[in-house]
Amino acid sequence: MLLAPATAWWWTDEPPSPAAGQAPRQASLATSLPSARADGPDTTDGLNTDMAPSATPAAAGARTFVVVDLCGLGRLSVATDTEEEANITHLEGLPAPVGQTPLAQAKVRWLGELREGSAGTSVAALLLDKPVTPDDDAKRLWGEALLRAAYTSQNAAALTWAEEACTYAADDGACRLSLVRARLRADPTNAVHWVALADEDPTAAEEAWRGLLAANRWAESPRGLESMTQAALPDDVPAYLRQALGEQVRARAATLPTPSESFVQERCQDPLPERKQQCDHLIQMLLERGDSLHTLSQATQLAQASGWAPEQLNKMKQELQALANVEALAAPDKRQPLSCASAEASSRFAADVRQLGELGALRARRAASTQGLR
């Protein structure tokens, strides 16, 4: 089936294997693709999900063929005219009927589910549907809607995500401070919100320090947006599209404001007699009740500022590096990011994060791998 002068596609003989815990319903997309083979049973026979996109060498001017695994739909052979186009691993390089078109349709349904959910999921929907326009009025209206939904939710995570809306407010500083105060009312035992208060209102530094010392955890929830939104995806969205939408959420989350480090570091460098004990308490909180690699990095920096022994610092740095390596291994396969193997790996890691937090999930995986080597 010829779609364009530069790109042709057809299905290989083997259908895909579904990701563990999922049963992608192929018919929902395949019915719109006359040449797609979606009527056969799912099987793992003959499917190598670890295979990198394979390009067939050809003479100058000849076409190159690439095989891409799309979990829940099939293995696709794509013909390209140039070597640059041969590295087709993401939806952007696929023919529209199996790439951008079903992705856009799935996203519309997904955003609809999020909007019809709680006020917290409405915040998520607005974040993922920010208007791409130079129109300042449109951005201002979007920001106002985001703030309304966040305040209605009284959810500390949603109130944190809404900070981006303050860029379009008449007084962005007052807007951010109001959000921080709302976060503290919703979740006063989370150290992250007290650090944010010190950043937004230097006159409240002493109040922030007292609240920080009284907190019982340091929760940044780096994958909170992904966890909230994935739960709203319709069940019949194929796994390869779920994987692509998950990538979009992770990319969006990476643009959201991150906690500052300067306030706590400056305090822990203060020579007051009580500071050493106070900062040791915060370091232990970061190590034991933090939930991200960033909290572990902060603990290491604070320990250095507080004068911890070199052997203790080295141990923390080694763990940080080891967990960063585990995180890289937990990421989807870069060679076939839309395959069932990648979808299954992402699903397992997301479940671990929901249960243990990012830091706990990485530590558990490191411990399991260490046990496996013994």
Cβ-contact 64, 86 below 8 angstroms: yes
Mean pLDDT check: name the lowest of 40-49, 92-101, 182-191, 244-253.
Answer: 40-49
pLDDT of residue 63: 67
CA distances to 130, 166, 170 from 126, in Å: 6, 14, 20
On the question of pLDDT at 64 being above 60, the answer is yes
For 356-373, the pLDDT digits (tens) are 989 999 999 999 888 765
CA distances to 35, 99, 266, 342 from 338, in Å: 21, 11, 45, 6
Cβ-contact 226, 250 below 8 angstroms: yes
3-state secondary structure of 303: helix
Give me 72's structure tokens.
């829940």
Highest mean pLDDT among 5-9, 87-91, 360-364: 360-364
On the question of pLDDT at 37 being above 50, the answer is no
pLDDT of residue 16: 41
| Confidence band of 186 (pLDDT split at 50, 70, 90) | very high
On the question of pLDDT at 33 being above 80, the answer is no
- Give CA–CA dist 9/1, Å, rounded: 6
Greater model confidence, 201 or 36? 201
For residue 112, the tally of other CB atoms under 10 A from its CB is 13
pLDDT of residue 47: 34
Q: Which helix (H) or strand (E) holds 316?
A: helix 310-330
| Confidence band of 91 (pLDDT split at 50, 70, 90) | confident
| Confidence band of 35 (pLDDT split at 50, 70, 90) | very low
Region 257-277: mean pLDDT is: 88
On the question of pLDDT at 26 being above 60, the answer is no
- Give CA–CA dist 229/106, Å, rounded: 13
Region 70-87: mean pLDDT is: 72
Rounded to two decimals, the pTM is 0.78
pLDDT of residue 7: 36
pLDDT of residue 287: 94
For 94-125, the pLDDT digits (tens) are 889 999 999 999 999 999 999 998 888 999 99
pLDDT of residue 373: 52
On the question of pLDDT at 21 being above 60, the answer is no
Mean pLDDT check: name the lowest of 135-139, 232-236, 264-268, 331-335.
Answer: 331-335
Region 158-162: mean pLDDT is: 96
For 209-230, the pLDDT digits (tens) are 999 999 999 999 999 999 999 8
| Confidence band of 22 (pLDDT split at 50, 70, 90) | very low
pLDDT of residue 61: 54
Residue for token pair 């703030």: 147
Greater model confidence, 110 or 39? 110
On the question of pLDDT at 161 being above 50, the answer is yes
Region 272-283: mean pLDDT is: 93
pLDDT of residue 13: 37
Percent of the chain with pLDDT over 90: 58
For 336-350, the pLDDT digits (tens) are 888 999 899 888 999
Cβ-contact 339, 52 below 8 angstroms: no
| Confidence band of 10 (pLDDT split at 50, 70, 90) | very low
Q: What is the CA radius of gyration of the chain?
A: 24
- Give CA–CA dist 324/343, Å, rounded: 20
pLDDT of residue 88: 54
Cβ-contact 151, 185 below 8 angstroms: no
By CB neighbour count within 10 A (0-12 exposed, 13-18 middle, 19+ buried), where does 70 fall? buried
| Confidence band of 231 (pLDDT split at 50, 70, 90) | confident
